[in-house]
Structures are given as structure tokens and as C-alpha cells.
Structure 1
Amino acid sequence: MSFAARRHMTLSRLVLSVSLALGIASPVLAQESPEPVLAPPANAAETALRDLYTREWEWRQGEFVREKVDGRWQSSDKLPSVTPEAWARRADYWKAALDALDAIPLDQLGREERINAAVFRTSIEASEASARWRTFEAPFNSDSFFWGGISPRQPFQTEADWRRFIGRLSDVPRYFDEQIANMETGLERGWSVPRATLEGRDKTLESYVLTGETNPLLVTFDRIPNTIPEPVRTQLREEGRRVVLEQTIPAYAKLLTFIRSEYLPRTRTTIAASDLPDGRAFYQTQIREYVTRDMTAREIHDFGLAEVERITAEMREVMGRAGFEGDLPAFIDYLRTDPKFYAKTPRELLGEASLIAKKIDGQLQYVVGTLPRYRFTILPVADDIAPIYTSGRGGLEACFFNTYDLPSRPLYNLPALVLHECAPGHSFQAALALEAPARPDFRQQTYFSGYGEGWGLYTEWLGTRMGIYETPYEEFGRLTFEMWRAARLVIDTGLHEYGWTRDQAIDYLASHTALARHDVVTEIDRYISWPGQALSYYIGYKTILDLRAEAERELGPAFDQRPFHDTILNLGSVPLPVLEEEVRRFIAEQKAAGRAQN
């Protein structure tokens, strides 16, 4: 999926990109909840703002061919247009929307509408910039692919859903042709995915060009549930298989031929964003988008170096508690090579992750005040993407763990991974978003990485307060994950601003963490092909951690982490400056309430 299109997913799909990347079907539970009702605007400024963001949201659904089904926006029976003309039209619309927003007197807005305005502005600025930079000419990266989210990993539940799916399958040839044309244009002007990051990515297409029964698209039509009665079920299966064989498979085959014979040989051999046309300016817009702050590459790089040094000292202390005699590199080598730290079967790894998730469940009542109704399951990453996929990713319906190449999946990392991806991290966060208080559609379905990934990394630290880490090895695994995100600040800016080589980045991450070599290479390729995104995690995490320290300092013994966390989660996804403002409001209100009681 292109960087531009990624910004227009709903929150349940974007929080977790896994929901798109792994083709998760929409939940039924959400359809049972009535639509929240917004309070009426208080004045003319609020009316103008609400009209603006409501019009834009409804226009956006039309642009990306989504329709409202049982109160929720879902994909229709078509795929969106990705032509240059479509993206130019969108860029013009978003520019006009920003101009209209500038004309609204923000000082006349109430608190909630000021937050709406800030979220709207930050989101639309990123969308407009992406369209202007024509990032759609490099419509995939080493981590995510526009062709990868078409087939669902779980079956649809209604006849209407299946018919919409068949419609999308019949639209694949047109959609792929537009993507190919965009990639051709990108190649001509030097805007492409770096070649060094693409090894093996073409293989993710191979299963979709097969005409036999193992093609995932054909397998999908063997999974139509019995809740859909005959003869409708047979009709859907026959129609779907015909579309796949006659239209979809040839389109996948054409794309695979293009990727292998045209795209891969002609992609750029440089790796830095700064090597793209006007690349330094582009990289700065990526920093602004993902960090939602005005920070320079130098500020981020230096901050990362300081945090790497701090975490290294903590790692040595934990190594001492483990009773290891030797230096830190020797300890890391020991963790990477001793079989006792690794699962022998996929079921063992998934079972360990499930046990950790249930242990976390027992602590959630002490962490947050509001628990969501919706529940996630635990599943393996699908076989077709597992070799080049990350170690885990959490979404609304499922928390996925990669069971490919088990010697690169250490068990001592699992507690931190489950906290981040499942609960109280992404799956938990997505469920709360599903049940959020009344907000405009665009607020409920906008996602900022600094907020979402910052919270995910913060939950790894929170596990130290929940009793989740039982051994020094698991604590070292947590520090490895914290180091991994701090090192990204150094690596991402090093790669895209300061001329680092791919090998230099791999060596830096490998020498500072206990991540397996497979994960190290996968992650570095992700940072190269997705400039700026990796910066969001640690800066968001540090923002939340600093706010907690401020709340503890200001409130003293009266500090309760449950309303503190509820304040963050109830906000929904917001830019980091808005998060700071709202948490400080919470702190002031708590202090005032304490004084009133005294």
C-alpha cells in the first residue's frame, strides 16, 4: 500500500496496519452499537469547523470508495483510483480544506472542537503533503504491499460482504495497472523503493498466480460460512472462483512479471530519503508527519545517542543480576545462541504468548479504569508474508506472532511483545477506539504513530509495574526492545540524513540489542524503505513517560495511574502536543480537586 493511501484507513485497520496487511474481516460486534450522537455546535465557528471536517470525511469515503454498512465505513465493491489525476484532485481538495480551516477563529472553539481542529489539521497536512510529493509512485515498501491486503485471512460473515469482495476482485486488473503505471513514472524520475530492501518481496506474489487449489484467493471461497444458506453459498463460491481464475490471477501474474523484469532491475541503488528528488525537504516532512512535532534530524539523532548510552548502562546492570560473567557482547551472543531461550514448535511460541496475555489480563484492572468489551485472539502470521514480516503485530481482532524461523524468535522478548501488540497495547487500544465516546467520524478513524506507537512502547515499560517480567532475561528482553526503538532514532536519521550505509545500520542495531540477526535485517530494510516512521515510537513513548513523571511529581501520593491512563486512551489518537496539553489539563484538575477536598 502506498504511503499516501495508508493515511486513509480507518483506525481499526490502521492501528493496526496488520488489519490491512493481513486482510482481517470487519467485526460483527461493532455493528451492534448505536452511532454516538454529537453535541450541537456552540457557535458559528464551531458550525463552520464541523461542516468542514464532515464534508471532507464524506468526500474522502467517496474518493476511497467506501460505503457505510450498519453504521460503519467499509470497503465497497471497487478499489480506489490511484491515478496521478486522482491524487492531484485530492491534493487540491486538501489544500482548499486547509485554507478554509485557516479562516476559522480557533479562539472561539470549545475544548473538544479545538482538539478536533488540531487533529484535522495535522492529518490533512500529512495527506496533502504526501499527494504533492507523489509518494504513490512508490506504492509499497519492504514491510507493506498494496497487493497484500486483498484476500481476507478470516471469512466474511454476510452475503453482501462476499459480493463486495467479489466486486473488488474483479477490479484488481484496473487497480494493478494504475499502480504499475505509477511505478513506471517513479522509476523515470528516480522515485522508487530502494533495491537493497526488496530481496524476497516478490515472493509474496507467487501464491496468488497459482491456478491450483492452493491459491489463497481460491481457498477463501472454500471458507464461506454455513450461516449463509444454500444455494447462495454455492453461487458465491462459483462466481468468486470464476472471477479469480479469469481476472484476478492474470492481474497478479502481470504484476509479478513487471516487478521481476522491470521494477527490481531499475529501482534506485541509493538508500537515503535525501537521495530522492529534493529528498532532504521530503525527509523533514516525514519527520513532521510521524513525530507530529517540529524537530530536526540533528535533534533526534543526538537525543537517540544519549538514550542509547543510558539504556546500555541498564542492560549491564540486568546482565549482572542474571549472574553472567563476561561483557555485554558476550551476553548478547549467549542469548542469541542458547537453545533454552527458543521455542521448538510454533505451538509452543503461541502458547507462551497466550499465557503471557492471560497474565496481563489479571493486572488490567489495576492499570486502567475502563475495559473494552471486544476481545482479540492470538494467531500466527500468515505463511505467505512470514519470511519478511516483523516478529509480531496487534490489531482489533487478533494479535499475530511470527512463527517462521523459530531460532530467531527468542522467548525472553515475548512479554514485552505481548504487552505492546496485544494488551494494554494495540489490540486493547483498538478495542477502546471501537467503543469510544461520541466523536466525529474522522476523529475516531484517524491514527498518529507518535500517539499509537508511543503508547505501545510505554506499555512495555508499564509491564515493570505489573509484575509481567519474571526473570532478568525477560527484563533484558524489554530493554532490548527499548534499545531497539531508541537506536531507531540514531539509525533512521543516520540513514536518511547523514549518509549511513545499510551495513552500518545493521551493525549498529545488532551490536546494541539482542534481536536476532533475521529481525535486525528485516527492521533495517523497513527503516530504509519507510523514512521517518520509526522515529514515532520512542518520541511518543518518552512524551508519555515524561507526562507520567510530571503527574507523579505534581500529585504526589494522590496520583492514580488508572485515570491517568484513561485520560490518554479516551482522547483517541492525537498529535503529541495535544496529548501534552490534555494530560496537563488532567493534572491541573486533579490538583484542584485535591485542594477542594482539603
Structure 2
Amino acid sequence: MMKPTVAGALCAAGILMLGQAGAVPAAPAAPAALAAPRAGAPEARFAAIHRAEWRWRVQQGLVRGESERGRVDPDFPRVDAASQRTRLQHWQKVMGQLDGIDAARLSAPEQVNYQVYRAQIAAFVEALRFREYEQPVNADSAFWTDAAYDARQPFAAIEDYRAYLTRLGRMPRYFAEQVGNMRAGLARGFTPPRVTLQGRDAALASVAGAAPEDTVFYLPFKSMPAAIPAAEQAALRAQAIAAIREQVQPAHAATLAFMRGQYIPGARDTLAAERLPDGRAYYQSKIAEFTTTGMTAEEIHRTGLAEMAKIRAEMLQAIAATGFAGDLPAFLHFLRTDPQFYARSAEELLMRAAWIAKKFDARADQYFGYLPRRRFAIRPVPPDQAPYYTAGRGGPGVYLVNTYDLPSRALYSLPALTLHESAPGHAFQMPVALEQKGVPPFRRAYISAYGEGWALYAERLGTEMGIYETPYEVFGMLSYQAWRAARLVVDTGIHAKGWSRAQAQAYLRENTALSEHEVTTEVDRYISWPGQALSYYLGQMAIMEARARAEQALGAQFDIRAFHDTVLQLGSVPLPVLAGRIERFIAEGGKSPYPKEG
């Protein structure tokens, strides 16, 4: 799963801008499908709209400009209610402008751009219309954990350190605006359920109560580039200690007091998104955002039940292949309790993950024609986040493995997790998207239905690639498939059908091999983040259905590398856009989107 940003002023959690933290390497060749738009009137009008809006986003501090990429942002965006209302009005105006364009007159590449852009702006409008900024925290993330992101990145130049110090000094203003929004949400009952907030204040406490040098915000100063003179390093360290003591820690302490004294005690007791203000419409808006479809909660719930039945049959076959004599509940108990399936140290878990990632590298060119230039590191999840974090998370340049509570981190699930989060999943797909030439900057977005669907597809692809070496690892993959199909049932069950927390936990416990710790943290994530869990399986189904159509239509002409390159070259797009692109792929005879060299 890609890291979310609930604090970001872009608001729509299903659409996250990529590439803001690092420079984007150039692709070796521009895909033919991404040629410059024709100079006709519709293309010109559309280009004028999205270019002006992007410049406005940069001015608002919501994204970084091209010249600022890879550098530390010296400030936080304004997130107060007045700024959010201004953004809503601006994006509503942009939607009106888009509605005035006859999209059918655009070229094929520009029609893709239009569909992606319009869905993006629509998600921003809906998130602001429902005032999601009044809930900048959920069971998975919070604005204060997002604020620590830069502290964990290496700084290359003295200018980065100076910008970072400026940023630390502006943290009190940013935190105060976020808390102000939370107060407004609390007043109208727009909060996460109280049960999902227990313990989520730990990261605040770890900063507020420590020596400045022991906080996460001091990390960049523990190892500084040798090119910075020693005297300058000492001065920067002194300034950092002062900024953390005088600005950062008071902001965290004030937020911690608010969380413990008012927010957590006053948070709602109900679980369902449909119990929020205008809740039914709100939940449907999240379904649309995270699935990029018009499906209803009832349709998704039925789909989940049907898919779970199919996966259950595969799981029984995998159990038989292990030679285990008992039924599914007995097998799940065996997997959860036998020491052979668990690492004895954090280092062992990390090394096993690295070994699996290298197994993919040996087979990559058989399944992908275009390989991203950017590599990724494998790191443990930071300890202040690990207790409530997912098993792993990946993105450009990194695959995070959660080494907290090792008895909850099954080795038989590690191959599926690694394929999802590293390569060919998130740490592979996102760099491919970022390396494309000739795309407007709004296409550097991450759309959950596409991105999570691709990563889940990557888990299934591991069976073809020979990544799973034992029936237990195959079962681990199937358990992960069941876990994502179960999300269709659980998310809609909680938010539209009145399911209890215990009911949702029982469904995951009985249908997957997830540990009890994971069952608890996952259900709390679904409760506090409506709709996000629906992205995965529906996205995978769309990719698998598109592949099946292409295989049937093209027959012997079907080339798996050309198909994968076509899907990935698009970058994140709504699922209907992906379906349309594969129809064009079929019509063009299944050719690769990249021109042949030489």
C-alpha cells in the first residue's frame, strides 16, 4: 500500500501526488501514445485550463514546482477553513470550465488526460464539499506523522538544512490550523470512531516528551554531508535543537493535550460512514473516489462474497498440496502458531524480504519490456509508527517492512507482501509512471484503484513468475487475495450494513491467515478510512479482465511484456480509462507502447 497523506491540503486520499520528494529521471524514449497534443481548439482550451490550475496549485503550496523537486519545502500549506473554502470555489470553477469542453473532439492521448484530470478535480471538490480536512487523522496516519516525513530523508546540501529549519519554525502555525479543523469536526460529529484512535497519540508523545536530540526531527543532523564545514554543521545542529525545543515540541505537546483531553474522549461511538453528517452521500463519494466506478455498496458487497467463495476453493487446494490433514480453521491455527513460519529477528525478516525481491529481478525482463531506472531500499518501519502500521508499504525508492511484533509477520505471506510493495508492485510501478516523458504534471498522481489494483495483480503474477516455492507460500498469496476480497465485504459491511467491529474482525479471522494483531489494525483502518479498502480487489479485477480480453482477442500475437508495458506506461488512471486503453491495445495488434530502438 502506498503511504497516504491525510494531512495534505489536496484532501483526496485516493489521489496522491507523486514525485514531489525527488527528481524524476528521464525515460530513454518517449512512448508514442504520449505525443504532444494537436494544436486544435479543444486541446488548446484544455491545456490552458490544466496549466493555469497547476500553477495555482504550486502557488498554494499544495505541490512543488519542477525547479523545487528534490528540495526540502520550507513551509507547510495553509489548511485553515478559509483557505479550504477558497480552494473549493477554485476547483468548482475549474470543473465548470472542463464541462465546457467537448471531450469527444480531443485526440486519443488528450482524452486520457482529460478523463484523468477531470476525475482528479472531481475528487478534490467532493473531499472539500464534505469538509474532510476536518478529520486529518485516522487509524493509519495523521498530520503529525506526515510532518515527520522530511526528517527521515537524506539531505544533500546546506540549502536543504536551512529550508528544513525554516519548516520546523512554521510547524506551530500548521499544527494550530489542523487542530482548529479538528475542533470544527468534533463539534459536528465528523471524527474517526473513538475505538480507532486508541494509542494513535504515541507519536505525539514521543516528540513532546523527549530530549530534542532524541526526536525524529533531529535525525537529519546526526549524519551530515562532509562537504558542509564542521563549524557550519555545529551551528546548524544548535539551531535545530533550539527549533525543536521552542517550536516543534510545544506544537506536539499542545496537540497531544488536545487529543487526550478533548478529541479522543469526544470522538464518535458509531462506526459507519453512513452515520456521519450526510453520511450516505459521503460514503458513496468515497466509493467513487477509491474505485473510480459508479458501483454501489450493495453491488460491491455481493462481489466480495462471490470472489471469496472462489478464493476459498483455491485455498483448499493449496492446503491439500501441503499434506495437512485438517480443515481450514485447523490449518489457520497451525499457520498462526507454528514457529517455523516466523522470523526470529528483525534482521532475518528484512533479509528474507531482500532475497524475495532479488528473485523477481532474475525474471523481470521476461515479463516487462521497460524497467524503471530507480532502485529501492528495504527498511524497517520507524518504531514510533510500527505498532499501528501495516505489514509493509512501498513507493518510489523504498520498501518498508514492519518488524514490530515478529509473531505477527508470517514468512509464508512475505513473498506476496514483497511483490505488492516492492517490485513489480508499488516501488516498480510508481517509478515507471514518473519516468514517462511528455505528460502534464497532474498525471504524476497516484489513483488508488489503479495503483493498489496493480500491486495486488503483482501478487498473482508471482505464481507465473515462479516466486512462490512452497504450497505454504502459495497459500500465503491466496490468503492475501482473500484478505483483499474480504475488504469488499467488510468495508461495505461496516459503513453501509451496520456491522460491528467484532463482526468485521471475525470475518477476517475466519477467512484469511492474518495474525490477530493484523486483524485488529486492519479492521480499525477500514473503520476510520471509508472506501480505501475497496481499491485493491476491484482494481485487480479490472486488470485481470483486461488481460483476459487481450489474450482472447490477440491469441498468438499476445505478448505479456507489451501488455504490462501498456498498463504501466499509462500511470495511474481511473479504471474505465484503463479498459479503454486496452481496447486500443487490442485494436493496434498488441504492440508495445515504446518505440523500438535502432
What TM-score do you get using the length of structure 2 for normalisation?
0.94
In 2, Cα distance between equivalents of 1:26 and 1:144: 19
Counterpart of 2:434 in structure 1 is 434
Between the two proteins, the alignment pairs up a number of residues equal to: 583
In 1, Cα distance between equivalents of 2:51 and 2:490: 39
Range that drifts further, 204-213 or 482-491: 204-213
Counterpart of 2:596 in structure 1 is none
Q: Does 1:233 align with 2:239?
A: no
Q: Does 1:133 align with 2:130?
A: yes
In 1, Cα distance between equivalents of 2:21 and 2:228: 17
Q: Deviations over 1:399-451 (max 9, x none)?
A: 010000000000000110110000000001122122112100111x2121110
Identity %: 47
Counterpart of 1:535 in structure 2 is 534
Q: Does 1:383 align with 2:380?
A: no
Counterpart of 1:208 in structure 2 is 207
1:388-403 aligned within 5 A: 388-403=388-403
Letter in 1 for 2:48: D
Q: Secondary structure at the match of 2:400?
A: strand
Unaligned runs of 5+ in 1: 20-24, 594-598
Counterpart of 1:118 in structure 2 is 115
Letter in 1 for 2:99: D
Counterpart of 1:411 in structure 2 is 411
Counterpart of 1:266 in structure 2 is 266
Counterpart of 1:165 in structure 2 is 164
Query: 1:226 Cα shift?
Result: 1.8
Q: Secondary structure at the match of 2:136?
A: coil
Counterpart of 1:578 in structure 2 is 577
Query: 1:516 Cα shift?
Result: 0.5
Counterpart of 2:256 in structure 1 is 256
Structure 2 vs 1, CA of residues 468 and 524 (structure 1 numbering), >3 Å: closer, same or farther? same
Checking the alignment, whether the CA contact within 8 Å between 1:454 and 1:542 is kept in structure 2 is yes
1:179-194 aligned within 5 A: 179-194=178-193
In 2, Cα distance between equivalents of 1:360 and 1:513: 25
1:430-509 aligned within 5 A: 430-443=430-443, 445-509=444-508
Unaligned runs of 5+ in 2: 593-598
The CA RMSD measured in Å over matched residues stands at 2.3
Checking the alignment, whether the CA contact within 8 Å between 2:343 and 2:406 is kept in structure 1 is yes
Query: 1:243 Cα shift?
Result: 1.1
Q: Secondary structure at the match of 1:362?
A: helix
Checking the alignment, whether the CA contact within 8 Å between 2:169 and 2:247 is kept in structure 1 is yes
Counterpart of 1:22 in structure 2 is none
Checking the alignment, whether the CA contact within 8 Å between 1:208 and 1:215 is kept in structure 2 is yes
Checking the alignment, whether the CA contact within 8 Å between 1:221 and 1:237 is kept in structure 2 is yes
In 1, Cα distance between equivalents of 2:88 and 2:504: 35
1:259-298 aligned within 5 A: 259-298=259-298
Structure 2 vs 1, CA of residues 210 and 350 (structure 1 numbering), >3 Å: closer, same or farther? same
Q: Deviations over 1:22-75 (max 9, x none)?
A: xxx934674999999973542111011001001111111221255436463765
Letter in 1 for 2:89: D
Q: Does 1:54 align with 2:51?
A: yes
In 1, Cα distance between equivalents of 2:135 and 2:591: 52
Q: Secondary structure at the match of 1:187?
A: helix
Query: 1:532 Cα shift?
Result: 0.4
Structure 2 vs 1, CA of residues 268 and 74 (structure 1 numbering), >3 Å: closer, same or farther? farther
Q: Deviations over 1:348-390 (max 9, x none)?
A: 0000000000001001001110011110011100111001100
Query: 1:154 Cα shift?
Result: 2.8
Letter in 2 for 1:471: T
Letter in 2 for 1:286: K
Letter in 1 for 2:9: A
Letter in 1 for 2:21: S
In 1, Cα distance between equivalents of 2:28 and 2:175: 36
In 1, Cα distance between equivalents of 2:388 and 2:309: 30
Structure 2 vs 1, CA of residues 425 and 240 (structure 1 numbering), >3 Å: closer, same or farther? same
Q: Does 1:5 align with 2:9?
A: yes
Structure 2 vs 1, CA of residues 591 and 207 (structure 1 numbering), >3 Å: closer, same or farther? closer
Q: Does 1:26 align with 2:28?
A: no
Q: Secondary structure at the match of 2:514?
A: coil
1:221-370 aligned within 5 A: 221-370=221-370
Q: Secondary structure at the match of 1:231?
A: helix
1:97-108 aligned within 5 A: 97-108=94-105
In 2, Cα distance between equivalents of 1:345 and 1:78: 39
Structure 2 vs 1, CA of residues 398 and 67 (structure 1 numbering), >3 Å: closer, same or farther? closer
What TM-score do you get using the length of structure 1 for normalisation?
0.94
Checking the alignment, whether the CA contact within 8 Å between 1:155 and 1:225 is kept in structure 2 is no
Query: 1:520 Cα shift?
Result: 0.7
Query: 1:244 Cα shift?
Result: 1.1
Counterpart of 2:561 in structure 1 is 562
Query: 1:235 Cα shift?
Result: 2.6
Counterpart of 2:595 in structure 1 is none
Checking the alignment, whether the CA contact within 8 Å between 1:77 and 1:165 is kept in structure 2 is yes
Query: 1:224 Cα shift?
Result: 2.3
In 2, Cα distance between equivalents of 1:433 and 1:244: 37
Letter in 1 for 2:555: G
Q: Secondary structure at the match of 1:199?
A: coil
In 2, Cα distance between equivalents of 1:49 and 1:239: 47
Query: 1:254 Cα shift?
Result: 0.6
In 1, Cα distance between equivalents of 2:232 and 2:12: 33
Checking the alignment, whether the CA contact within 8 Å between 1:380 and 1:401 is kept in structure 2 is yes
Structure 2 vs 1, CA of residues 589 and 281 (structure 1 numbering), >3 Å: closer, same or farther? same
Q: Deviations over 1:215-241 (max 9, x none)?
A: 222333222222333433223222222
Counterpart of 1:596 in structure 2 is none
Letter in 2 for 1:2: V
Query: 1:494 Cα shift?
Result: 0.3
In 1, Cα distance between equivalents of 2:532 and 2:62: 26
Checking the alignment, whether the CA contact within 8 Å between 1:68 and 1:74 is kept in structure 2 is no
Checking the alignment, whether the CA contact within 8 Å between 2:27 and 2:437 is kept in structure 1 is no
Checking the alignment, whether the CA contact within 8 Å between 2:37 and 2:107 is kept in structure 1 is no
In 1, Cα distance between equivalents of 2:585 and 2:64: 37
Q: Secondary structure at the match of 2:589?
A: helix
1:46-85 aligned within 5 A: 46-64=43-61, 66-68=63-65, 70=67, 72=69, 76-85=73-82
Checking the alignment, whether the CA contact within 8 Å between 1:65 and 1:78 is kept in structure 2 is no
Q: Secondary structure at the match of 2:198?
A: coil
Q: Deviations over 1:173-225 (max 9, x none)?
A: 11111111111111111111110111110112122113413222233322222
Structure 2 vs 1, CA of residues 32 and 567 (structure 1 numbering), >3 Å: closer, same or farther? closer
Query: 1:242 Cα shift?
Result: 1.3
Query: 1:135 Cα shift?
Result: 0.7
In 1, Cα distance between equivalents of 2:66 and 2:51: 18
Range that drifts further, 492-501 or 61-70: 61-70
Q: Secondary structure at the match of 1:144?
A: coil
Checking the alignment, whether the CA contact within 8 Å between 1:376 and 1:427 is kept in structure 2 is yes
Letter in 2 for 1:145: A
Range that drifts further, 288-297 or 227-236: 227-236
Letter in 2 for 1:561: I
Structure 2 vs 1, CA of residues 43 and 265 (structure 1 numbering), >3 Å: closer, same or farther? same
